[in-house]
Amino acid sequence: MTLLTRRATLRLAATSFALPLAAAMARADGHATNHTVVIKDFAFTPANLQIKAGDTVTWVNQDSAQHSAWESTNNAFDIGLLSTGQSASLTFARAGAFNYRCRPHGNMRGSITIS
């Protein structure tokens, strides 16, 4: 009986080490990641973001004013106006680079580089 308990304990220990390792390997294999850009004090943080193709960017407005994220050169994306506490997400499928700004506050600028 003691031998079975030891085996069960060893299996449990091996599994507890294997799961985090498998999760780390999955991320290394290119699984998509969600990145957050906080809008606060009339600024995007981080202002310059580097991501991989397939990743998602979520903008979260923590400011008292309404804000947006709009790529105005090619009109590639526009998340619309976000009120306090609202968020919007976009997934970027392929490599490229985008400079964006807030529609109502043109001095608020950010960039996303996708590899």
**Residue list for the binding site for Cu cation:** 67, 102, 105, 108
User: For residues 76 and 109, is the Cβ–Cβ distance under 8 A?
Assistant: no
CA-nearest of 58, 62, 63, 55 to 37 is 58
81-85 CB contacts, 8 Å cutoff, 24+ apart: 82/39, 85/61
